[in-house]
Amino acid sequence: MTNVRFIPLQQEGIPVADDPVILALGTIYLILVLLIGVWGWIRTDTTADFLITGKSIGTWVLALTAFSVIQSGFGFIGGPELVYLFGSTALWIFFSAPLGFLITWIVLAKRMRILAEIRHVLTLGDATFVRYNSNLVRGLTGLAVVLGVIAYLAVNLAAIQFVMRAIFGIPVIWGLIAGAVILLLYSAFGGMIAGVWTDFMQAITMAVGAVFVFVYAISFGGGMENIMRNLAEADPALASPFGTLGGTETAILVGLAWWTLFAIGAAGQPHLITKFYMSRDMNVLKWGAPIAALTYAISSLIAFSAGLAMRAMVEAGQIDETFAASEVGPVFVLEHTGSVVAGLILAALLAAIMSTSDSFLNIGAAAITRDIPRALGRPIKRNKTELRLTQVSLAVLTVLATLVVMFSDALVGILGAISWGFFAASFVPVVVLGLNWTGATREGAIAALVVGMSYNIIYNVIPETAGIVDHSAVSWVNENIVMTTYPFPEAVPAEAISLLITMAVFIIVSIASQDDTPADIKALIER
């Protein structure tokens, strides 16, 4: 018999603001989000408007929405948690991610925008079809997008229940349902037009709030020198760039793997790279990379300062560890900063989750109603019909992800494990190499997509399943096949290895096969 834990929606230990200022700011933010959604609805007439804003956004909006869809709730919940657990070792992620924006802009920004100009592309599946002239590549792209979107969306909805409880004090089950309903209305109304402007609003709020949190945190910890001293006295590994990752060789390997995953893997995130379709013109792309990288680095001050300060004060015996690692960010903001700062951070986080989830919903719904039907030779021909079915697909994806969060933490863990790495392994070779190398072939793209999805399922999904689902067959497969065939230390993220393997597969298969690149696409690659 298979045993899976159901209804994991506990609320003990989750901090509640119980502050009228925070409640007011949270309410105002939600109202603004819904009003932006209505405004987006008024401006949306076609599928192009709904999915890529009708190519209407400028430099600052493009840069800040790119930063915010990558940062989202991670910087407030996942980031402080990692720093609290691993000390300064976790900063590998935050040092790598800003570089990811620069790399992504260099290798893809102009090419993606020109592609949207010379061909009618609205989705990532459109781009891969145009590049490889293959419905199978388009269909596999759509499938990879849908699977990854469910992963991301479930994790974001799980965060919504947390934030709704922190702001409004409601049980998490109602926070989940209310958040899902608001997200669905906001997404169905406004599409990507609403999403990018909400991203813009919350990105500014998060960056400003991060500076205040940093100041509060350094002061709370008695200064950076005192923080690092307390950490080093408790465990020297916490103050080392490699200390908590194992021995020297393992630590270096893990650090390089994290760098690869977050710096190079950013270029495979469809919710980021499809933003390039939306720019008003080519000049808009010029300063986007440094703006996005700088604002991401500033926002990461929340994770860096709150995580280190809280761990240092616990190790020094100045505060009691009455919270879980995942609660470090909310606990610090709610208990050790002012009401206005806490309210702005929580409200911005709620908007970040909403707008990032909106991006996921849009690319996922488009894959369902545009990419997969076209790959099967059954395109939806009427624009209005395609738009309405895309909006219906939003509801299907929202309900599905909500049920995942509500009924099984097992599935949330499994899907969360394959999200970033799943997209990176699938799309860095196919899109980045494909749009920068005329020798790329459809056979190489098909092989990379199949291997990327399969590798992540084997080395991410099965181990996560074995750790949560009580089933002898799953455990046997994990212990006797998965663990025995993974050639690296357990600390090395399989997602990074998957990315490197799929790139190698893509290159080898492309070299071994031959393909004709359309003349306009060849000119695009060679310019």
SS3 527: coil
Give the tens place of pLDDT for each residue, 400-448. Answer: 888 877 766 555 545 555 678 889 999 999 999 999 999 999 999 999 9
Asked which of 135-149, 310-324, 492-506 is least confident by mean pLDDT, the reply is 310-324
Q: How many CA atoms lie within 13 A of 13 on its CB side?
A: 11
Distance (Å, whole) CA 371 – CA 415: 22
Give the pair of three-digit tokens for residue 526.
């060679």
Give the tens place of pLDDT for each residue, 29-58. Answer: 778 777 777 776 676 666 555 555 555 677
Residues in the chain: 527
Distance (Å, whole) CA 445 – CA 431: 9
Asked which of 16-20, 269-273, 505-509 is least confident by mean pLDDT, the reply is 16-20
Spell out the residues 6+ positions from residue 304 whose beta carbon is closer than 8 angstroms to its own: 79, 83, 91, 94, 214
Distance (Å, whole) CA 387 – CA 407: 31
Burial class of residue 13, CB neighbours in 10 A (0-12, 13-18, 19+): exposed
Read off the pLDDT of each residue in 159-165 and give the average, rounded to a whole number: 79
Dihedrals φ, ψ of 371, to 5°? -70, -50
Residue 307 near residue 244, CB atoms below 8 Å: no
Residue 172 near residue 159, CB atoms below 8 Å: no
**331-358 burial, b for 16+ CB within 10 Å, e for fewer?**
bbbbebbebebbbbbbbbbbbbbbbbbb
Chain centre to alpha carbon of residue 28? 26
Q: What residue spans define the domains of the chain?
A: 58-526
CA distances from 35 to 22, 40, 206, 370, 522 (A): 20, 9, 20, 28, 44
Helices (H), 408-471: 409-427, 442-456, 462-468
**292-313 burial, b for 16+ CB within 10 Å, e for fewer?**
bbebbbbbbbbbbbbbbbbbbb
- Whole-number pLDDT of residue 437: 92
Q: Is the pTM of this model over 0.85?
A: no
Given a cut of 80, is residue 490 above it in pLDDT? Answer: no
Read off the pLDDT of each residue in 80-94 and give the average, rounded to a whole number: 79
- Whole-number pLDDT of residue 467: 65
Given a cut of 50, is residue 7 above it in pLDDT? Answer: no
- Whole-number pLDDT of residue 3: 41
Fill in the amino acid letter for 118.
I
Distance (Å, whole) CA 200 – CA 291: 12
Distance (Å, whole) CA 200 – CA 198: 5
Percentage of the residues of the chain whose pLDDT score is greater than 70: 86
SS3 491: coil
SS3 16: coil
Geometric angle at alpha carbon 265, from 374 and 307, rounded to 5°:
130
DSSP for 461-476, written as a single string: IHHHHHHHSB-HHHHH
- Whole-number pLDDT of residue 149: 85
- Whole-number pLDDT of residue 440: 94
Distance (Å, whole) CA 350 – CA 161: 10
Hunting for tokens 């020798």 — which residue is that?
439
Distance (Å, whole) CA 311 – CA 326: 13
Give the tens place of pLDDT for each residue, 99-122. Answer: 888 999 999 988 988 888 888 888
> Which CATH number fits the domain 58-526, given the four candidates 1.20.1730.10, 1.10.606.20, 1.10.510.10, 3.10.450.50?
1.20.1730.10
Geometric angle at alpha carbon 94, from 329 and 405, rounded to 5°:
50
**Of 143, 178, 176, whose CA–CA distance to 159 is shortest?**
176
- Whole-number pLDDT of residue 429: 95
Given a cut of 80, is residue 376 above it in pLDDT? Answer: yes
Residue 334 near residue 195, CB atoms below 8 Å: no
Give the tens place of pLDDT for each residue, 192-208. Answer: 666 677 777 777 877 88
Given a cut of 90, is residue 209 above it in pLDDT? Answer: no
